[in-house]
Structure 1
Amino acid sequence: MSLPIKYSPSSEYYSISKNTMFLLFLVCLTFAGVYKMEAQEIRPRILISSDIGGTDPDDFQSMIHLLMYANEVSIEGLVSSPYGPGRKKDFLDMIDLYEKDLPKLKEHSGGFPHPDSLRAITKQGETELAPFRGFRRATEGSDWIVKCAKEKSDQPLWVLVWGGLEDIAQALHDAPEIKENIKVYWIGGPNKKWGVNAYSYIAENHPDLWMIEANATYRGWIIDDESPENINAKNFYPNFIKGKGHLGKDFVNHYNGDIKMGDTPSLVYVLNGDPNDPTGESWGGSFTKIQRSTRSIFQNGSTQTDTVAAYDVIEWQFKGPVLDIPKDSVCFTNEIWGQVWNGYYLGDGIYGTKYSSKKPEIGSYRTSSDIPELDGLTGQYTSIVPWPGETSEHDYILGTNWYGDRLEPQLFMGVQQGAKTVAKHREAFLMDWAERWKWLE
Structure 2
Amino acid sequence: MKSNCVGCLLLFLAAALIPFTALAKERVLVLTDMSNEPDDEESMVRFLVYANEYDVEGLVATTSTWLRERPREDLIRRQLDAYGLVRDNLVKHAGGYPTMEQLLAVAATGQPTYGMAGVGEGKSSAGSRRLLAAADKPDARPLWISIWGGANTLAQALHDARRERSPEELHKLIAKLKVYTISDQDDAGRWLRLEFPDLFYIVSPSTTGHQEYHRATWTGISGDRHYRNGPMVDFELVDNPWLEANIIRNHGPLGALYPRLAYIMEGDTPSFLGLIDNGLGWAASPAYGGWGGRYVRYQSYAETHPIWTDSSDNRDTLMVDGKAHTSSQATIWRWRRHYQ
TM bin, normalised by shorter chain, reads: 0.7 to 0.9
3-state SS of the aligned residue for 1:235?
A: helix
Match of 1:407 among 294, 312, 330: 312
Pair 1:412–1:145, CA change in 2 (3 A): farther
2:199 matched to which residue of 1?
209
Pair 1:293–1:269, CA change in 2 (3 A): farther
1:250 matched to which residue of 2?
257
3-state SS of the aligned residue for 1:250?
A: coil
2:333 matched to which residue of 1?
423
Deviation digits for residues 198-227 of structure 1, max 9, x if unmatched? 122212111110111135111001224422
1:138 matched to which residue of 2?
124
TM-score (structure 1 length as normaliser): 0.60
Match of 1:91 among 76, 79, 92: 76
The answer to whether 1:44 aligns with 2:26 is yes
Deviation at 1:239, TM superposition (A): 3.6
1:195 matched to which residue of 2?
186
The answer to whether 1:116 aligns with 2:106 is no
Identity %: 27
2:144 matched to which residue of 1?
158
The answer to whether 1:262 aligns with 2:172 is no
**Structure with higher strand content:** 1
**Separation of aligned partners in 2, 1:282 and 1:127:** 34
**Separation of aligned partners in 2, 1:126 and 1:103:** 34
**Separation of aligned partners in 1, 2:317 and 2:338:** 20
The answer to whether 1:104 aligns with 2:95 is no
Match of 2:284 among 276, 299, 304: 276
The answer to whether 1:171 aligns with 2:166 is no
Deviation at 1:259, TM superposition (A): 5.9
Find the structure with the greater CA-based Rg: 1
Pair 1:262–1:412, CA change in 2 (3 A): farther
2:220 matched to which residue of 1?
220
> Does the CA-based 8 Å contact 2:294-2:314 persist in structure 1?
no
> Does the CA-based 8 Å contact 2:111-2:119 persist in structure 1?
no
Deviation at 1:143, TM superposition (A): 1.0
The answer to whether 1:79 aligns with 2:57 is no
Pair 1:426–1:229, CA change in 2 (3 A): closer
2:208 matched to which residue of 1?
none
**Separation of aligned partners in 1, 2:315 and 2:94:** 40
RMSD of aligned residue pairs (Cα, Å): 2.7
**Separation of aligned partners in 1, 2:221 and 2:39:** 12
**Separation of aligned partners in 1, 2:264 and 2:86:** 21
**Separation of aligned partners in 2, 1:133 and 1:96:** 30
Pair 1:131–1:250, CA change in 2 (3 A): closer
1:181 matched to which residue of 2?
176
3-state SS of the aligned residue for 1:160?
A: strand
Deviation digits for residues 89-136 of structure 1, max 9, x if unmatched? 111000011111111111112211100010000011012113469656
| Aligned positions, number | 285
> Does the CA-based 8 Å contact 1:223-1:423 persist in structure 2?
no
Deviation at 1:254, TM superposition (A): 4.2
Pair 1:232–1:181, CA change in 2 (3 A): closer
**Separation of aligned partners in 1, 2:60 and 2:28:** 11
3-state SS of the aligned residue for 1:175?
A: helix
> Does the CA-based 8 Å contact 2:296-2:309 persist in structure 1?
yes
Q: Tell me which amino acid in the other structure corresponds to 1:179.
A: I
Tell me which stretches of 4 or more aligned residues in structure 1 moved more than 4 Å: 132-136, 408-413
TM-score (structure 2 length as normaliser): 0.76
2:41 matched to which residue of 1?
60
> Does the CA-based 8 Å contact 2:270-2:292 persist in structure 1?
yes
Gaps of 5+ in 1: 1-8, 11-27, 295-395, 431-441
**Separation of aligned partners in 1, 2:235 and 2:146:** 30
**Separation of aligned partners in 2, 1:172 and 1:88:** 22
3-state SS of the aligned residue for 2:312?
A: coil
Gaps of 5+ in 2: 1-5, 8-16, 163-169, 206-215, 225-230, 319-325
**Separation of aligned partners in 2, 1:124 and 1:133:** 13
Q: Tell me which amino acid in the other structure corresponds to 1:162.
A: W
**Separation of aligned partners in 1, 2:103 and 2:204:** 27
